Structure 1
Amino acid sequence: MAKKRRLTILVWLILLIVWELVTRLHLVSAILFPAPEEVWRTFVGILRQGYNGIPFWQHLGITLLRLFSAIILAIVTAVPLGLASGMSATVNGLVDSLIQFYRPIPPLAYYTLLILWFGIGESSKIILLYLAAFAPIYLAGVEGVHNLNQDYQLSAQSLGASKSQIFRWVIFPGSLPSLFTGIRTAVGVSFSTLVAAEMVASTSGIGWMVIDASKYLKSSVMFLGILILGGLGLLLDWGLRRLENAVVFWKGHQ
């Protein structure tokens, strides 16, 4: 683990050095590729003065509120539906084809419809992120049930366990590793959709900052927004992995 951490730090240091060298040697125009110190100055300025008259923490809070609202709603609905679909051929026949139909469609393809149906406010943005997060979690639930060792269920049945007990003590815990993988994937997909959600009829959020800055070639703001989104994604994924290690403590020891 220590070696992995050192290698990770080394990779980021190398990237930072290359970034600094490219800008100092003027290999790329500073308008298109700002120096690290320029991005840092932009960050400090936005922390102090905000962006477009809105404090930085408000931009960040709005983005996280949209993201967490969608992710939590997706978990609450997709986990039980995915597990039910994996356990029941009837449920699978009813919902699986619908989810498989919309899953490969790019979110921007139906975002306009969501705006027409739900307006230009927060509802359409949260629903867009929710739909992006729902499918990976649902599929993880289905796969978690299908990949579960059937011997566990048969052993529980032979000991007289009821269906509800089998679900509570065998199926659900056995599906947790797959579900956590699905949730981590859903967070990544939601982040990639976040800029699209904030680019239409929005005046706040980190994704909106990137879009707004692109209109005026504020490359340092664009880089800053991208770094913040990437950092948030890494932080959330790290938190989910820590939570998975605590909850699914038996993973890898079956």
Structure 2
Amino acid sequence: MRRIGLQLASVLVLLALWAFVAAMRWVDPLYLPGPGAVWDAFVRANSCYPITEGAARKICGESNYYLWEHLVVSLQRIGVGVGLGALAGVVVGYLMGSSRLLMLLVNPYLNFLRALPPLGYIGLLVVWVGIGESSKYWLLFLAAFPPVVIATIQGVASVREDQLLAASSLGAGLRERVMTVILPSSLPYVVQGIRLATGFAWTTVVAAELNNGIPGIGGLAFQSGVQLQTALTIACILVIGLVAVALDQVIVWIGRALVPWQGKEV
């Protein structure tokens, strides 16, 4: 409770300082609107309002979508991209971790892909697959794939030789050694890799939605920034950050459920 209280107090102090600076107009509201303006932008992006005062026709949300709808679309893209990246990354990681020849052949390409920033190949993806959903899925896939592969390789390398020998001496075949020794020992690393991949892919969502990203929370943040709607941009940034923290905690909880033996001697 003390830790939570200190964290809450820190947030309140930051909000108070922000509100004070905005109220004193030490920074132009175009660049730094106050917390109230950001909250109003958030509420406006999740509600309907008339085009003009007294008009019957209403506008709902931003760019014809509520903010939560933008968020749901981005989460769907993250789910597809990271899901495929994790699936392919685990398979490739186990193969590379089990074969020195495959490791020697594939590792340079993996390091090259890992070193490339997402914005480095987004233009090429648009040329190859267009500006639709496919380019976004591919970008998020490529962002999530390398961390999962590397974590899986580390997990396979962490398997103790004496455990494999003990399983073999008890008559375990290859399938039994994989299921009872290699998989349980490497699973904590795989979960950690998926956690890193999800975080990295979420930070890439704005880049993925630069082109035809509406609906999408990253696309909305970019569009509102271009249109100098600073309050809405900050609201989108706060939503992106809070959702990132929530996603990370969900993966941590899932990891604890899947690998309750993590940190314990097997």
Fold conserved between structures, TM > 0.5: yes
The 1:7/1:246 distance shift into structure 2, 3 A limit, reads farther
Tell me, in whole angstroms, the C-alpha distance in 2 between the residues paired with 1:105 and 1:47: 36
Determine the structure 2 residue equivalent to 1:178.
Answer: 189
Determine the structure 2 residue equivalent to 1:15.
Answer: 14
Q: Percent identity?
A: 35
Determine the structure 1 residue equivalent to 2:43.
Answer: 44
Tell me, in whole angstroms, the C-alpha distance in 2 between the residues paired with 1:60 and 1:40: 17
Q: Within 5 Å, which residues of 2 pair with 1:58-97?
A: 58-97=69-108
What is the TM-score when the length of structure 1 is the normalising length? 0.94
Moved more, 69-78 or 83-92: 83-92
Determine the structure 2 residue equivalent to 1:190.
Answer: 201
Extract unaligned runs of 5+ from structure 1. Answer: none
Determine the structure 1 residue equivalent to 2:56.
Answer: none
The 1:173/1:6 distance shift into structure 2, 3 A limit, reads farther
Runs of 4+ displaced beyond 4 Å: none
Match for 1:128: what amino acid?
A: L
Q: Post-superposition shift, 1:3? A: 4.5
Tell me, in whole angstroms, the C-alpha distance in 2 between the residues paired with 1:152 and 1:18: 57
Determine the structure 1 residue equivalent to 2:64.
Answer: 53
Give the RMSD, CA atoms, in angstroms: 1.5
**Residue 151 (structure 2) pairs with residue 152 (structure 1):** no
Q: Post-superposition shift, 1:57? A: 3.1
- Higher helix fraction (1 or 2): 1
| Residue correspondences, number | 253
Q: Post-superposition shift, 1:68? A: 0.6
Find the partner of 2:254 among 227, 243, 247: 243
Determine the structure 2 residue equivalent to 1:34.
Answer: 33
Partner of 1:21, secondary structure, is: helix
Match for 2:245: what amino acid?
A: L
Tell me, in whole angstroms, the C-alpha distance in 2 between the residues paired with 1:149 and 1:20: 56
Tell me, in whole angstroms, the C-alpha distance in 1 between the residues paired with 2:180 and 2:10: 42
Does the aligned pair in 1 maintain the 2:212–2:219 contact within 8 Å?
A: no
Partner of 1:47, secondary structure, is: coil
The 1:156/1:8 distance shift into structure 2, 3 A limit, reads farther
Q: Post-superposition shift, 1:13? A: 2.8
Does the aligned pair in 1 maintain the 2:163–2:181 contact within 8 Å?
A: yes
Tell me, in whole angstroms, the C-alpha distance in 1 between the residues paired with 2:151 and 2:249: 19
Determine the structure 1 residue equivalent to 2:136.
Answer: 125
